[in-house]
Amino acid sequence: NAEYGVFFLLLANYYIFPNTNRSMSWFQKEIALSPKSRGCHLVTEEVTKAVSEIKNFKIGLVNLFLLHTSASLSINENCDPDVRQDMETILNRLVPEKANYKHDDEGPDDMPGHFKSSMFGVSLTIPIDNGSLRLGTWQGIYLCEHRNRGGPRRVVVTIQGQIKET
């Protein structure tokens, strides 16, 4: 029975990771990512520099929530820049600009930008391990800018976790 499986998993997690509420904390701030040209951009370093508070957490989760509807966040390849160029090429083939969209108040890249944003989403949750983002070896945070001129992009950063003991 699936319900018993979920209960057992929750019970097992409780015994493996008991919540003693020792040093548990929430933190939130808004950051602005620098303006980017259209395309997929690696922003891991920009995020970690802007959110130095991550280093204060032993374990936890960081949520990044982009406050825009024509850009998106993703986690993908952080090494080969060809991946970012190919991502933009694929996105433009899947969602072309000239497709007679009704919503074009802000230009031909407006509606495609909204759709691309919905494809990837505007939120990421990443584990924190001993003061660092727990990304895989080849993983990085992407800001996917879907407009020709998007401007600075605002991100709400929320951290919940256990503070390092001093």
Quick: pLDDT tens for 99-132: 889 998 899 999 999 999 999 999 999 999 999 9
Give the confidence band of 4 by pLDDT, cuts at 50, 70, 90.
Answer: very low
Dig out the tokens for 57 from the structure: 């957490």
The model carries a pTM of 0.86
Residue type, 149: R
Residue 39, Cβ density class (10 Å: 0-12 exposed, 13-18 middle, ≥19 buried): middle
